Structure 1
């Protein structure tokens, strides 16, 4: 029997897909999914595949009783659909992971054909295939990882963003094979820059270690039971951040997140069965209910292709996506929400100072020549303009961005892009804009259609 198991394992290893760098992942909170069925896992994987995402990063907490069931279903679905998964050990949600438990879980799942393998060409590894492993925080447990890596051959790319990039790279004798930054949101009312990304690359470059860059569309959380209630600026963040990916050209990109509903930066679908945390954390409202973010997946295939190939494709399917908050900033009480977070060394500001009362739109076009944008709010129309063109300039193929103010308008939002009087694409179907306040509190989340 042992010989048979060894033979089957060897066959599985031969069949495992092996990946080089320039891969795109989406962070998935497994703790939100205790009621997920195999069909649910398969549905989400299909959506990720349609968006050209390479793998789900499974965030798992140390004491979550649903881990065993959820991981078994996840890997069953991934194997059936030829998709990849890998672990991010969460050292904050329920305390640090014991070293033995990390080793045991990796030894159980990394031989699985669906576990993501990275082809490591650094440090004379001659293209060795190694299972990619990450964390959410946990730098105080850095000393565990030399032994874990020795037992599992892990390609270790943690998020130790509570440390500076240079300090994190040096922990435990430089145990990391790369670093992931969780700093995906701007500080204050200014747009996101690449300064943090460049600092990580500079710290990792001397040893030729990998950098995993974060990309996120939004951030708002109001979970009193978890002592969380703040907003970070999300205006122009999603499409602007993908432009920065093309500038930085990191080894990997991780999308934050697929399903972190509590922090409003999900790009996956919203199912009622995933929203138990709003009750557990005593949220004043389910601020993701009826608030789709599907629009933020619209251009992922385009962005990912440009990131991986370094060039714009010759042909694209033209389209438009839009996002907006469902109430003007001062229409409802702020709900105790602060702008920025003093726990991160930031200066606290009023949340309305971080956001614009606008409808934002992005259009993937072969050219903007002859193109007009019309934004209807409750039937009242405005003509929009593009304020940002593709890197190659106006008249070229790529994503064009712009916005129009809400003004006093309420109702359903429809964004239409036309060329020479003919409709090219329309974005619509999201929750409308209203000055009526659910539970007398502002919902700082955004709709993306």
Structure 2
């Protein structure tokens, strides 16, 4: 009888539905899309699909006068591109603040049943809903879940994992953490991610991954800080393999104001008004492309969905990322390392940002490989000092860095094997000792 009971228990566990099929999403600030046509949206979605992203998370602010047009364009494009979207209701957006129940329900009634709205197959095709903050409105969601039949994974990071999981009697179906950046100058760890998993006791966890953070929008928003971002993107994807969350959300596709966008810069209208409205003392976006961080996404996402098993390397590629000026080249612009408003200890940004040129390559192996970083006319021999988790000689992402020193000029990376170039990265702005408006730009470049 015991073996029958054990067999039945094993069958029951095997039949239990997973929280998710390990989808990966990219956070989109809807307020930054007013200049996008349906064709523009389609181009973004096709690029996201090619990068193995499963859906866009539309951060929607209550009462934004452009919501109707932007949402119509987005959902039309999503149907054309056979792509998926879902909402993250922003409860902290300026100037209108928190959503009320009626506002949430109206948008879900209009779009939740749309063929382009993302639904969680493992949860009976419930439409996925998230938030940016909003724990003071937690009680609203008992009624909203019943009326919209949604699968609810909010970001209530301000409460911390345990309190967020218990809010409104445990109304959440899971939680998203916005804790994607380290309190520097130390590196990001998985401590908070694992605290979320523990607090959720089997409910879904959506883990954040971000490449960078710098914001200088002092007017009205009073935002002027940076977080330690050197090597962050690849580090976080390594941590995704360790944590194996139910979902991953990339922060972000197009948040130019906080410098963690990964889409190509195509229209200045997407961010120019934002920078001017909130008093940015310099344009820290235009000459700072980030699309290099898209290159390895298909590999990383395939590895995540395979439970950490390393997939075949279809194409060897390289990525180069750096700031365009040494930390002391210009006045720091009043930027702090860390954000004192969050109770963090302010650190001079010069102590947070390493004056290095970082590089990474997706390779079948590092055997017989030579790495060269070139700045201007100077060639700098380099080495990969961080191999993939399985070690040297295995397929995966290899990483390294070289000091900027006093070098200036165009920056490029060449990876050769046996004298033949197998991967290279170039085309970003030059390394220089001059700065726009005599203010340091703490944003990065990824090519």
- TM norm structure 2: 0.94
What's the counterpart of residue 220 of structure 1? Answer: 214
SS of equivalent to 1:265: coil
Rounded to whole Å, the distance in 1 between the matches of 2:421 and 2:330 is: 36
- Establish whether residue 289 from structure 1 lines up as the match of residue 283 from structure 2: no
Q: Report the Cα distance in structure 2 between the residues aligned to 1:153 and 1:36, rounded to whole angstroms.
A: 31
Using the TM superposition, give the Cα deviation of residue 316 of structure 1 relative to its aligned residue in structure 2, in angstroms.
2.2
* Deviations 1:286-318, CA, capped at 9 Å, x for gaps: 101121001000100000000001211234210
Per-residue CA deviation, residues 344-364 of structure 1 (Å, 9 max, x unaligned), is 121100001111111101100
Q: Map 1:153-172 onto structure 2 (within 5 A).
A: 153-172=149-168
Post-superposition Cα deviations, 1:160-207, rounded to whole Å, max 9, x if no partner, equal 0001101001111110000000000000111110000000000012xx
Aligned equivalent of 1:318: 316
Deviation at 1:147, TM superposition (A): 0.6
| Distance in 1 of aligned mates of 2:342 and 2:120 | 32
Cα deviation code 1:227-286 (max 9, x no counterpart) = 000010000100011000000000000000000000000001222110110011011111
Partner of 1:35, secondary structure, is coil
Cα RMSD of the aligned pairs, angstroms, is 1.1
In the aligned structure 1, how far is the partner of 2:121 from the partner of 2:47? 26
CA contact (8 A) 2:313 2:363 kept: no
User: Match of 2:336?
Assistant: 338
Partner in structure 2 of residue 412 of structure 1:
410
Distance 1:344 1:421 in 2: 51
The equivalent of 2:325 in structure 1 is 327
- What's the counterpart of residue 252 of structure 1? 247
Is 1:97 aligned with 2:99?
Answer: yes
Listed as ranges, the matches of 1:364-403 within 5 Å are 364-403=362-401
Partner of 1:192: 188
Following superposition, the deviation at residue 20 of structure 1 comes to 3.6
Q: Following the alignment from structure 1 to structure 2, what is the Cα–Cα distance between the partners of residues 447 and 50?
A: 21
In the other structure, the counterpart of 1:301 is 298
Question: Unpaired segments of 5 or more residues in structure 2?
Answer: 1-18
2:145 to 144, 149, 152: 149
2:280 is the counterpart of 1:280? no
Query: What is the CA-CA distance between 1:89 and the residue it aligns to?
Result: 0.3
CA-CA distance at 1:332 after TM superposition: 0.6
Cα deviation per residue 1:37-74 (whole Å; 9 max; x = unaligned)? Answer: 11110111111011000000000101211111000100
Q: Secondary structure at the match of 2:43?
A: helix
5+ residue gaps, structure 1, are 1-18, 121-126
Cα distance between partner residues in 1 of 2:423 and 2:395? 16
- Alpha-carbon distance in structure 1 between the residues aligned to 2:161 and 2:379: 48
Moved segments of 4+, more than 4 Å: none
How far apart are the structure 2 equivalents of 1:281 and 1:315? 43
- Separation of aligned partners in 1, 2:241 and 2:175: 19
